[in-house]
Amino acid sequence: MSLLQIAEPGQSTAPHQHKLSAGIDLGTTNSLVASVRSGKAQILTDSQGNALIPSIVHFGAERTLVGTQAQELESSDPLNTLSSIKRLMGRGIEDIKQLGDNLPYQFVGDADSKVPRIKTSAGNFTAVEVSADILKVLANRARESLGGELTGVVITVPAYFDDAQRQATRDAARLADLNVFRLLNEPTAAAVAYGLDQNNDGVIAVYDLGGGTFDISILRLHKGVFEVLATGGDSALGGDDMDHAIGEWIISEAGFKNVDAFLSRKIMVAARQVKESLTNNAFTDILIENGDLTWQGQLSRIQFEELIKPLVKKTITSCRRVLRDAKLDKLEITEVVMVGGSTRVPLVSQMAGEFFDRKPMSDLDPDQVVAIGAAIQADILAGNKADDSMLLLDVLPLSLGIETMGGLSEKIISRNTAIPVARAQEFTTFKDGQTSMAIHVVQGERELVSDCRSLARFDLRGFPPMTAGAARIRVTYQVDADGLMSVKAEELTSGVQADIVVKPSYGLTDGEIEVMLKASMENAKADIAIRMLKEQQVEARRVIEAIDAALIIDGEFLLSAEEFNQIKQDRDMLEKEIETADTETLKQLIKSVEKSSETYVARRMNASVKQVLEGKQIDEVEIN
């Protein structure tokens, strides 16, 4: 098809060298995808212009729906419609019990797995698989809008996500068959979006209250370097909790007893609407209808603010803490940036503004800013901006430690340490002939292991047997730029590397992921077919566009009436079939257009070469 790339003489064909990439904001409530096109980061929308894809998946007997279509089934089929799945990423059964009463799903355990599965009529799914379904839709939107395969993506995660939650996100991307350049922290992404826009140096606080997570990060911006000084937050606090507070208020006001999954969903949907309405209104009416049950009520913004004040206060506590960690005074903060849909709640920006003693910035759409920042980073990582010297320096959000005698945690790497980072420790054997040892790695700030989050147990095996105390085992803990930890171990006197068996406390094992990958192969075949068709459709539109543009300029001038009509006929045929034809037919139709316009393309080339040469001195013409 290259012949139809009818570029004007002297014009570069640079778009061809541009590697396609995307930034993905995989949110609790909504997800977005953005990409840099013609040097500008843009949110990619659907054909109706919608930027947000609700992070909701419906598992039907026939097929899986994602986004708005799934959202429409939320109230009618609550058990098969999964939302806020991000809250379950990297979580175990016990964690979910704590979130428990808010979730209408039925969980099923699996004796061989630590990862809870949600029961639907289409089968049992982990949060990782559900997230992968959302990622696939986002990636497809990017492929269609950009017209090609993605070389890689940047996926954002809350800065406060622990290792298990990050690993789960990585696993979801693997299932969705995406090349992840990097997991980027959401506040850092927001800072990139703002920082590059404003091009100013300073210390900024990014206050990010999303649907299910809260992050507060302090960054120093200096000459294209975004250095995270400290980060903090709560990976289980967000707009969802406001909805629940309203929901509980409705249940108690209405005196509902025996709230089943259907009623519960209805109340939650109503609660969300109430919250949104109170952003601009002082009062809002509520109507709940469920079978023969009907309740009508009204909530004022003042009442609502009383309900959510404890939640917002929690975020302010985190702000105070993170300033202390960054060793900064409030006055040293030059800008406060608001990110996440929940910062639209007036009380939130009011209390954050009061704490930092300055008016928070929200120039960029708080729902879109993270995806925009991720797209900018993805574009750079794809290698499209060789001379751009942006550097993102992140930190470990929560301390890493190992379990020692008496169930205490000994910190190995403290929170807010710049990553990547590695730290080594030496151990010795305490028994004659000992050839293995076990290390339990935890994450968190508390002294007792039981108060921290268990990440994984590492079995180090295969040391040469020696007398007790003779072996010198060096264990290296490595945290990469994504904030993910790995462990390696070596016996120093013999140089023997240990075999390491990882038992993740909450994650999927490699074996489980393999099984999921195989299971999704069947679906993938269908997905690939759809993708190929979509690609041909994109190609067909591009061909038509190119032909049309050319014909207007010089079609009648360079072509006989017969030639003109032949091209026109083939072109119209292609256009007619674009939505209905299968991949192979489309391919043939595109070929016909190419064939009938071959002569035309050649004549155009000649004409343009002539044009360039005319009016130039001979010595100006480069001879290759």
Partner 1 sequence: MQMLDFKQNYFQLFGLSAEFHVDKDLLKAKQQALLAEFHPDLFVNASEQDRRLSVQQASHVNEAYQTLLNPVKRARYLLKIKGLELNDETETTSDTGFLMEQLELREQLDECRSNQDPIACCEEISGKLKSRAQQFADEFVTKFSTEQYEAARQVSRKMQFIYRIQEQVLDFQFQLEDELA
Catalytic residue IDs: 25, 86, 186, 208
Position 458: which residue type?
A: F
Instruction: Provide the minimum distance between the beta carbon of 137 and partner 1 in the complex, in angstroms, as a whole number.
Output: 24
Q: Which residues pair with 205 in a beta bridge?
A: 218, 336
For the chain, how big is the Rg over CA atoms in Å?
A: 29
Q: Using the 8-state DSSP alphabet, how is residue 381 labeled?
A: H
Rounded to an integer, what distance in angstroms lies between the CA atom of residue 300 and that of residue 314?
22
CB of 390 to partner 1, least distance (A): 9
Residue whose CB is less far from partner 1, 248 or 480:
480
| Cβ closest to partner 1, residue 294 vs residue 317 | 317
Query: Taking the complex as a whole, how short is the minimal distance between the CB of residue 342 and partner 1, in angstroms?
Result: 18
How near is the Cβ of 392 to partner 1 at its closest, in Å? 7
Nearest distance from C-beta of residue 346 to partner 1, angstroms: 22
Strand 81-82 relative to strand 64-66: parallel, antiparallel, unpaired?
unpaired
**Which of 218/299 has CB closer to partner 1?**
218
Structure tokens at 219: 């960054």
Cβ distance to partner 1 smaller for residue 316 or 517: 316
The string of DSSP letters for 116-131 reads EEEEETTEEE-HHHHH
554 closest CA partner among 508, 619, 606: 606
Cβ pair 529, 575 in contact under 8 A: no
Query: How far apart are the two ends of the chain, measured CA to CA in Å?
Result: 25
For residues 241, 247, 248, 253, the Cα torsion angle rounded to the nearest 10 degrees is 150
Minimum distance of partner 1 from residue 445's CB (angstroms): 5
Distance of closest approach, residue 318 Cβ to partner 1, in angstroms = 9
DSSP tally for the chain: helices H, then strands E: 15, 28
Closer residue to partner 1, CB minimum distance, 24 or 550: 24
For residue 564, list its beta bridge partners: none
Residues in contact with partner 1 by CB under 8 A are 152, 181-182, 225, 227, 310, 313-314, 317, 320-321, 324, 380-383, 389, 391-393, 417-423, 445-447, 478-481
Bridge partners, 230 (sequence order): 218
Reduce the secondary structure of 3-59 to three states and give it as a string.
Answer: HHCCCCCCCCCHHHCCCCEEEEECCCCEEEEEEEECCEEEECCCCCCCCCEECCEEE
176/204 Cα distance (integer angstroms):
34
Tokens encoding 463: 């040391």
Contacts of 481 (CB under 8 A, 6+ apart): 182, 394, 419, 420
What the block records as the tokens of 534 is: 């979509």
How far apart are the C-alpha atoms of 360 and 216, rounded to whole Å? 13
- CB 442, min distance to partner 1, A: 14
Shortest CB 536 distance to partner 1, Å: 28
Distances (CA, A) of 304 to 236, 277, 342: 20, 11, 14
Q: Least distance (Å) from partner 1 to the CB of residue 325? A: 8
Give the nearer residue to partner 1 in terms of CB position, either 476 or 585: 476
How far is it, in rounded angstroms, from Cα 609 to Cα 224?
43
Q: What is the DSSP secondary-structure string of 555-612?
A: IHHHS-HHHHHHHHHHHHHHHHHTTTS-HHHHHHHHHHHHHHTHHHHHHHHHHHHHHH
Provide CB contacts within 8 A for 547, sequence distance 6+: 4, 567, 571, 593, 597
Choose between 446 and 503: whose C-beta lies nearer to partner 1.
Answer: 446
